[in-house]
Amino acid sequence: MDQQTLRSLQAPLKEAYREDAEAAFVTLRARGSLDDTSISCKVETGRAIATAGLHPATGGSGLELCSGDMLLEALVACAGVTLKAVATALDITLRSGVVSAEGDLDFRGTLGVDREAAVGFTAIRLAFELDTDADEEALATLLKLTERYCVVFQTINTRPDLSVAVATHTA
């Protein structure tokens, strides 16, 4: 996709959202199912079913997806798509690239071994290796705008309002 094609796709959406802010609000959903046969959650991805389970560091077999890995994969996916869109909008040529994310976890917190140990990532590092002739200034702008517009990055970075609810069903 080139710069003009991207702009022509997004221009009517941007105009519609300027005219009607409510039209820009979308609720994304994820859904998973639990059963009594394993410690896992089958997540509906829209394309397939992904089964998430315990990480081997918490007793898992390693056969199921770890939700921590899935979070990093979502970050890589979102950052990669955002970077490509921003590069296209800025007319920066990217011949190829690699997006990677890594995060540090202390499983003592997850397993309740140490109440002082954090539950969750204590650090996440996102990196890009790009094959491009863009100069330092263009790359700085590309990175700044990618960070600004990457939904997953901003969600992790700004901590949205969270809530948890439970409903029970009896047999």
Per residue of the chain (171 residues), give pLDDT as tens.
889 998 899 999 999 999 998 988 888 777 877 777 877 888 887 788 889 998 999 988 889 989 999 999 999 999 999 999 999 999 999 999 999 999 999 999 988 988 999 999 999 999 999 999 999 999 999 999 999 999 999 999 999 999 999 999 887
Helix (H, G, I), strand (E, B) or coil at 161: coil
Domain 3-158 part of CATH 3.90.25.10: no
CA distances 22 to 11, 26, 127, 148, 161, Å, are 17, 9, 34, 21, 19
pLDDT at 25: 86
| Residues with Cβ within 8 Å of residue 138, at least 6 apart in sequence | 90, 92
Query: Which residues on adjacent β-strands are paired with residue 49?
Result: 44
Q: How far apart, in whole angstroms, are the C-alpha atoms of residue 161 and residue 155?
A: 10
pLDDT at 45: 79
Q: How far apart, in whole angstroms, are the C-alpha atoms of residue 101 and residue 19?
A: 37
H/E run at residue 49: strand 49-53
| Residues with Cβ within 8 Å of residue 114, at least 6 apart in sequence | 106, 108
pLDDT at 160: 94
pLDDT at 34: 77
